[in-house]
Amino acid sequence: MKSKITLLNIVLCFVAAVASLLNAYDLVSIPETFLMSIRWAALVGLIVYAVLKKNLTTSILISMLVGTEIGYDFPDVGIQVHFLRQIFLQMIKTVIAPLLFATLVAGIAGHSDLKQVGRMGWKSLLYFEVVTTFALLIGLFFANWFKPGEGIIPPEALNVVLPHAENQTWQEIILHSFPENIAKSIYNGEVLQIVVFSVLFGVSLALLPADKKAKFVGGVELLAEVMFKFTKIIMLFAPIGVGAAIAETVGHMGIDVLKNLALLLATLYVALVAFVLLVFVPIMLFARIPIIKFVKTIFEPVSIAFATTSSESALPKAMEKMEKFGVPRQIVSFVMPTGYSFNLDGSTLYLALATVFVAQATGTEMTLGEQLTMVLLLMLTSKGVAGIPRATLVILLGAIANFGMPEWPVLLIMGIDELMDMARTSVNVVGNCLATAVVARWEGELDDEKMQNSDLILETEATNV
């Protein structure tokens, strides 16, 4: 039965694709109503296939196609269903703080060797700084090679309000990392502040006598298990939330949004692909991490991040997947949340590219020395901003303000920022997942047997969903 449905889906998708291409290139004139009917027939077949397969990743991918079609055929409906995306993101955010607290505290207090926490800390920060530096340099290289900002005509009027950017001193950036009120940090989604509080709490708990410590550690371990189960329930809503996110994007900006600032968009995607191939792949080879198995493991959280443009939405699932990949929980729970503030590889590459784009668009000459100075500035200002709305735009505005450049090119970037955000957020999630495996290998705690059998675990999960 399932094989017949699969064959029918392939035929319907092929017919829909061929008919759309023939019509798009004016080779054959096909009524739009007929084209829409073919496309929806193919999508209905895919939906039936997803229901029968009962696999979350498959459901998310198909929901992205459905969302694209809704946004294209019924843009008003696509915009109106944005609340479904917000429901999904808000539910995910409810999990972040208790999950981070429980996993970090249990991992630190339940581990007899507190020195390992210190080792993981400096190893993680060293790894983050090296990788993000490569991301910035690759962003600079492609910006200077492709020159996406050259030849742009300034707009006559600015009709969009840009987010307010305040220059922060390095002292203020460090101060922002420490919570003054943990409830306020949770409310504002300050991931780094929650991590700092949880680490200090876990170390304090570890210093208590064993009999007192054991009671609380058992409680937070139970809380962590509950939060992972809670995440699984929320993820049942993921296909709807992801589909709504895509429908809203296409409905709001149109399917032809890809034509706007195509060179800048292409430059970012090419630069990110180059970064993955030139940095991530050698790291995986050096750390003896099987590339195909790693990609299969993280595919689901990365697809969620791509569709929702939110790293937070992928955090619980990414932590769960990497633990099943063979990374110990105490390493996953420490490295990944920290990476959300210090290891935003995709975002830092984007910031370097966007800053040079603004310089090119405004005719501002930036010497190599000034560009390297900008890299150092972005290395500092891009840290500890998790939870700030439109954080990359705020950082970008702060960077161009430091060099005295006009702000109007940022408006052009905002027009396709959603599409750029999809790519950079996905790379952020990949980078943080990889960081947990690298630190685990560095610590000698990566479970190779579990890692090699990760394919079997994924297949078992797919059949049990």
Distance separating alpha carbons of residues 439 and 435, to the nearest angstrom:
6
Query: Any idea what DSSP says for residue 153?
Result: P
Instruction: Please report the pLDDT score of residue 274 as a whole number.
Output: 95
What is the per-residue pLDDT across 181-238, written as a single tens digit (0 to 9) for each?
888 888 877 766 887 888 888 888 888 888 888 888 888 888 878 887 887 788 788 7
What are the angstrom distances between the C-alpha of 207 and each of 199, 219, 377? 13, 17, 39
* DSSP letter string, 100-124: HHHHHHHHHHT-S-HHHHHHHHHHH
- 82-464 CATH: 1.10.3860.10
- Amino acid letter at 40? W
Residues with Cβ within 8 Å of 304's Cβ and at least 6 positions away in sequence, in order, are 60, 238, 242, 313, 314, 317
* Cα-based torsion angle of the residue sequence 56, 58, 60, 66 in order, rounded to the nearest 10 degrees: -140
Q: Which residues contact 315 (CB under 8 A, 6 or more apart)?
A: 92, 96, 99, 301, 336, 337, 340
C-alpha dihedral, 287 to 56 to 91 to 338, nearest 10°: 0
Spans of the chain, pLDDT less than 50: 157-160, 165, 257-260, 384-389, 465
Residue whose structure tokens are 């939060």: 227
Report pLDDT for 394. Answer: 61
Global model pTM greater than 0.85:
no
CA geometry: angle 271, 273, 277, nearest 5 deg: 115
For the record, the structure tokens of 207 come out as: 């210093």
CB-based contact 265:423 (threshold 8 Å)? no
For residue 157, what pLDDT is reported?
47
212: amino acid identity, one letter: K
**What's the CA gap between 56 and 348, in Å, rounded?**
30
Q: What is residue 441's predicted lDDT score, i.e. its pLDDT?
A: 93
Query: Whole-angstrom Cα distance, residue 314 to residue 192?
Result: 17
Q: Is 137 exposed, middle or buried (0-12, 13-18, 19+ CB in 10 A)?
A: middle
Q: How far apart are CA 332 and CA 340, in angstroms?
A: 12
Tell me the residue length of the chain. 465
Can you tell me whether residue 423 is helix, strand or coil?
helix
* Angle (nearest 5°) at CA 221 between 205 and 311: 100
User: CA-CA distance, 327 to 445, in Å (whole number)?
Assistant: 7
Q: Residues 6 or more apart from 15 whose CB is under 8 A from it?
A: 38, 42
Residue indicated by tokens 């019509």: 23
How far apart are the C-alpha atoms of 112 and 89, rounded to whole Å? 36
Residues with Cβ within 8 Å of residue 440, at least 6 apart in sequence: 326, 327, 328, 331, 446
Query: Token pair for residue 160?
Result: 């969009």
